[in-house]
A = this chain, B = another copy of it.
Amino acid sequence: MKEFELIGKLTRSLPTNDTVVVGAGDDCAVLDFGLPEKLLLFKTDAVVENVHFSGETEPKKIGHKALGRCLSDIAAMAGTPAAALVTIGLPPDYDPDFIARVYEGLNALAKRFGVAVAGGETTASTGGIFISVAMLGTVARGRQVLRNGAKPGDAIFVTGELGGSLLGKHLDFEPRIHEAQWLAEHFSLHAMADLSDGLAGDLRRILAASGTGAELLKSAVPVSRAAKLQARTMPSAKPPFAAALADGEDFELLLTVPGADAVKLLDAWNKKFPKLKLSCIGKITAAAGLRIRDGSGVRPLDAHGYDHFA
């Protein structure tokens, strides 16, 4: 049984109750606790030493990443973060000053987004350090953006540039909270997710949830300088376009809007956020599957077939 099969099995029959609007499978759980104008967003995410960071990582950036990952998921629902709890697993030989600096980075990001760190706990770890963050936020009732609303004819957008995050961005990315809120206020967002597992993987999840397919325009996908740099300097690295499709931890927004709104959205975005790129990278199709269009035509993108699009 692979991990995704396990998750499928575990999430098939979870206990529920009438607070649950959206359960497992979207960026956050959406809960109705009876607030007249708001729904609650609830999310947990963990970072683990030697998986998401190493002993050599600057500790403030570890804290930034631990909280930032949850903030990115709140952004993906067009929500507002409110309060976090931090559980930290400490190996026997931990350095208290290192942990204090992890918290410095976490607290600095929390303050910038008005998030209270309302407690948590320390526990022993028999492996390396792990940090599990639980986040609570809100979203205006009816304004939450899920993964399952993409419609044929929608234009597909991404913020920022993709690929090569491991060269540094995965530790100091900026959660797109303000951008997502602005998008949801001004446009009809059909579907949204944050890019944590790579464009191809996260887009496939939107397509599966929405019962649609998509066609991406190769030349429109914004490939980061880091993706190009790693392709040039690391012999084993993916070609840049493959990295933009498959590398994880971009923490950018992936969204779809009605095709008719695409130009208006780009114009308004460029006025509001002139320093952050927004790219229209393709369209949602009724036909299932994920396809790439380039100068030589349209080809299907199979699950592991990124390499021949280099």
Contact = CB atoms under 8 A, between A and B. Distances in A.
Given A24-B117, A127-B127, 17 more contacts: A5-B96, A7-B122, A10-B100, A15-B116, A15-B117, A16-B117, A17-B82, A29-B83, A31-B136, A35-B35, A42-B118, A44-B134, A48-B125, A51-B125, A87-B132, A89-B130, A132-B132
A96 B34 CA distance: 37
Contact of A119 (B25, B100, B130): B25
Contacts of A110: 15
A1 interface: yes
A19 interface: yes
A49 to B, nearest CB: 7
A128 interface: yes
Nearest to A37: B34
A1 B127 contact: no
B87 A13 contact: no
Interface string A153-166: 00000000000000
A23 B29 CA distance: 23
Contacts of A210: none
A267 interface: no
A66 to B, nearest CB: 12
Contact of A20 (B86, B116, B125): B116
A124 interface: yes
Nearest to A73: B121
Contacts of A48: 89, 123-126
A310 to B, nearest CB: 28
A90 B46 CA distance: 12
A33 to B, nearest CB: 6
A15 B126 contact: no
A9 B100 contact: yes
A302 interface: no
A45 interface: yes
Given A51-B124, A83-B17, A116-B14, A46 B132 contact: yes
Given A35-B33, A116-B19, A132-B44, A6 B99 contact: yes
